[in-house]
Amino acid sequence: MMKDRLIKIRTSSKTRDLIDEAAKIQGKTRSDFILSASAEKAQDLLLEQVFFKLGSTEFIAFSDLIETPFDPPKCLKNIISIKTIWS
């Protein structure tokens, strides 16, 4: 991918040093590390966004569904009830 845009940011020495240390561990330059981390965070944020376009009837049904308490199946209740060795 061709890099054809410039991004300038100001930061404290402490933050720059932290970024440099992390970049060094990954074998990246400061710029490559910042771009990679920023792009990853941006992608995660965008993937978390959910939009449901529902009519009023569908919205009521959806609301009822997500507000109904979950009754786990017997096999899950059995697993949850097992005493752990550290308790």
**pLDDT tens digits along 63-73:** 999 999 888 89
Domain annotation covers residue 34: yes
Supply the pLDDT for residue 71.
87
DSSP track, 10-39: ---HHHHHHHHHHHHHHT--HHHHHHHHHH
Domain annotation covers residue 29: yes
- Indicate the pTM of the whole model: 0.57
Residue 74 belongs to domain spanning: 13-81
- The band of 59, judged by pLDDT with boundaries at 50, 70 and 90, is very high
Domain annotation covers residue 5: no
Domain annotation covers residue 3: no
Domain annotation covers residue 21: yes
Q: Are 35 and 23 in contact (CB under 8 A)?
A: no
Domain annotation covers residue 7: no
Number of structural domains in the chain: 1
Domain annotation covers residue 31: yes
* Residue 57 neighbours by CB distance under 10 Å: 8
